[in-house]
Structure 1
Amino acid sequence: MLKMQIAIIADIHGNALALKAFFSEIAKRKDIDHIYCLGDMIDIGPDSNEVLHMLFSRNDISMITGNHDEAILTLAKGQEYPKSHSNVKEHHQWLLDRMDKSFIPKIEQLPRTIKQDLEGHSILFIHYQIKNGKINDPINNDPFSSIVEPSVENLENLFKDNNEDLICFGHHHPIHYFKGNKAIYLNPSSLGCNHKPIARYAIVSVSKEKIEINLEETIYDNSSFLESYHKLQVPERDFILKVFHGNQI
């Protein structure tokens, strides 16, 4: 049975060690045809340059933008910053001040969505559902829908206007894996933000007959990454370490 195998990652959030751990696992497998990254590569963690270098240096990965990537772009380009992100503006500016500016045009050229037909199955890659008529709206117009709690009913309602067989998304950090009447809904969880030293991702095997999904995680030593919040004096570090990393140190 011929099949294609793809890896799905989301919400790296500036965690280079988690991304390295993921790439190490993929290299061991030797059976992954392509990787899809579902946005929010940067913000929260301080490793913007290392993360972006690893991503843009590969030719086997496709990326889309997330709300945090786009919000930081508004600061870089002197555009109107989204009011909905005002609580993290200082943090975004701190990250931008330390970012290699050669990455800015590269991020700017990334799409918001990718649609693929693999082995006869239609697949949507998106950071999160985008409100009707807002697919091309700037981030300051809040095009992304409000987060809904993970359930098949909520996701069927959220993506009711979509007709894809598999919808892959991120943004909300818990794992989502639901088989609805119309589609399979998959969020592999945040690669870079977890209350344990694990990096989560998904492997999707697509053949003409079916779509198979395996939720994966790899353990890695995240101690130096967590310590870097204090060493670098990252803004809002106490809040971030508590909410996004479970106060592991």
Structure 2
Amino acid sequence: MSSASRSPADRHRVETLSNIAFERLRAEVMSGDLAPGTKLQVEQLGHRYGISLSPMREALSRLSETGLVVAELNRGYRVAPVSLEEYKDIIETRLHIEKEALLQSIKHGDLEWEAAVVASYHRLSRVHSAVESGGPEILEEWKKLNREFHSAIISACGSKWMLRFCLTLYDQTGRYHHGTRLNGTLPLEQSAREHKSLFRAVLNRDGKSAVRILEAHVRSAAARVERGERTLRG
């Protein structure tokens, strides 16, 4: 059945299932559970997730637009490969765009934006203190809240495309972190200090300091990844 011939109820159901499949696939690619280069069989994934083929295909198509998976002509989909050269390119591109988004957000953000920044930082800080003693589920919650904090501070930049690119690049960098998780200890205190400094600079509307701290924060995490050390997301 084509999308044009579906009833509104059918379209809504497929869209809902596609969103579920998209989020599950994205999480598995980001965590490394679906390793770079893995062939993605629509039928197998649909069976594993309990989702029919049509919404699974839509989810894979959407995921290919983020660069997390690649579509191969007449061969389906595969998890995108990784390389140190690409990682460095992603970091530089992310910083170029995200620093500008942060400056624009600080310039134009209103009280509602400030409240969202405060709330996201508070949630991240609460979980951060439990990462060391908690299990894997706490670390996964931290990763989710860290993404929300980084999204919140740039959310008033005034450009949907800029936001989309920033989050796409953020997700891309995350693929390189799971491979270092067994080497060394997590830099918990350093990460907490950097987030606190970034939070204060943003609330003080100090754009110059905020972008400097953001760049140091991202590059610090990137350097650890390149050395094969464990890290928390920058």
> TM class by shorter-chain length?
under 0.3
Q: Answer 1 or 2: which has greater helix percent.
A: 2
Structure 1 or 2, whichever has the larger Rg, is 2
Looking at both structures, which has the greater relative contact order when contacts are Cα pairs under 8 Å and sequence separation is at least 6?
Answer: 1
